[in-house]
Amino acid sequence: MSLRDKTVVVVGGSSGFGKAAALKAAELGARLILTGRDPVKLGQVVATMDTDGYQVAGHVLDAANVSTISAFFDKIDRFDHLISMAGGFMGGGFLDADYETIRRAVDEKLFANLQIARHAVKRIADGGSMTFTSGSGGRPHSASGAIIGNEAISSMVQGLAVELAPKARVNAVAPTWTETPLWRDMPATNVQATRAHFAGTIPLGRTAEIEEVAQAYLFLMQCGFITGQTITVDGGLTLVS
Ligand SMILES: NC(=O)c1ccc[n+]([C@@H]2O[C@H](COP(=O)([O-])OP(=O)(O)OC[C@H]3O[C@@H](n4cnc5c(N)ncnc54)[C@H](OP(=O)(O)O)[C@@H]3O)[C@@H](O)[C@H]2O)c1
């Protein structure tokens, strides 16, 4: 399952896990189609990869807007693998978080990725794969909508895996808290405190490097006999908390 000359779509390839996974795929000879919401940031990432000699194209896409999802898949040709980073984060339980905040977290995680999957099936090549992003380590009483969204992604990939077999495989990666640009609006002291909290709880004694999480997407793209699975990348956190 070499990635050489395969086309890899990365929804959310302009930052964090998606950007790191895209770089690893490019190093293995894949052609990249990257999306991001912020056109400036996306343009900078595409320009840098292009200068470095990788085959890369960029498209602005906000998966919260269904019409941009269908327009994106109408524009691109057949692809081999897709990985999606669509989704964000939220804090708060089912009673103390704002109703709209909970609803938006589920929309951005489950329904955005479901729309991506439903449009992507028209373009995916035989033997291809889709890998979505769940999450791990949070708890329903303090991250209500995010947990619902993450659990829904795991159920979604189980259903899609059977519905799409044997044409293509569908899986998910579930990272736990990792220092990425997702936390860009959080004060640096809070980021450091959160990092220290997780490092003190995770059995491996530290938080993940972005590249370690990216490696899980590369594995799922390249292992042709895994489908319907969610790989947790958490240093053992869910075993002890
Ligand atoms: N970092 C963590 O601690 C952590 C833990 C568990 C799960 N996750 C999940 O991992 C995924 C990636 O997070 P990250 O930490 O790599 O964040 P990041 O550095 O902010 O990167 C997210 C990428 O996805 C794009 N994106 C975000 N929402 C999108 C949407 N609605 N439609 C299309 N593209 C969208 C972003 O584009 P713009 O930058 O242009 O907005 C960016 O390219 C998310 O689904 C997040 O929930 C992260």
Residue 1 has pLDDT above 90, yes or no: no
Q: Which of 192, 195, 188, 176 is nearest to 235 (CA)?
A: 176
Q: How far does the centroid of ligand 1 lie from the alpha carbon of residue 174, in Å? A: 13
Q: How far does the centroid of ligand 1 lie from the alpha carbon of residue 87, in Å? A: 6
Q: How far does the centroid of ligand 1 lie from the alpha carbon of residue 86, in Å? A: 6
118 backbone dihedrals φ, ψ, rounded to 5°: -65, -35
Residue 66 has pLDDT above 90, yes or no: no
Q: Is 230 in the pocket of ligand 1 (CB under 6 A)?
A: no
Mean pLDDT calculated for residue range 188-216: 97
What is the tally of structural domains in the chain? Answer: 1
Choose the residue to mutate in 14, 15, 107, 207 for probing ligand 1, maximizing ligand atoms within 8 Å of C-beta: 15
Residue 85 has pLDDT above 90, yes or no: yes
**Domain region containing 140:** 7-234
Question: What is the domain-level CATH number for residue 165?
Answer: 3.40.50.720
Q: What distance in Å separates the CA atoms of residue 13 and residue 81, rounded to the nearest whole number?
A: 13
Inside any domain, residue 1: no
Inside any domain, residue 178: yes
Helical residues (DSSP H) of 60-178, grouped into ranges = 66-75, 99-106, 112-120, 144-164
Inside any domain, residue 20: yes
What integer best gives the mean pLDDT of the chain? Answer: 97
Q: Which helix (H) or strand (E) holds 56?
A: strand 56-60
Residue 193's CB: how many other CB atoms inside 10 A?
Answer: 12
Q: Is 149 in the pocket of ligand 1 (CB under 6 A)?
A: no
- Which residue puts its alpha carbon closest to atom 31 of ligand 1? 63
Structure token digits, residue 157: 């990939």
**Above pLDDT 90, what percent of the chain?**
98
Inside any domain, residue 241: no
Inside any domain, residue 115: yes
Inside any domain, residue 208: yes
Q: Is 62 in the pocket of ligand 1 (CB under 6 A)?
A: yes
Local confidence band at 134 (pLDDT 50, 70, 90 cut-offs): very high
Inside any domain, residue 141: yes
Please return the burial class of 109, using the count of CB atoms within 10 Å of its CB with bins 0-12, 13-18 and 19+.
buried
Q: Is 41 in the pocket of ligand 1 (CB under 6 A)?
A: yes
Inside any domain, residue 240: no
Mean pLDDT calculated for residue range 87-115: 97
Structure token digits, residue 68: 């941009």
Q: What is the pLDDT of residue 241?
A: 87
Biggest alpha carbon distance in the chain? Answer: 51
pLDDT tens sequence across 147-172: 999 999 999 999 999 999 999 999 99
Residue 120 has pLDDT above 90, yes or no: yes
Q: What is the pLDDT of residue 139?
A: 95
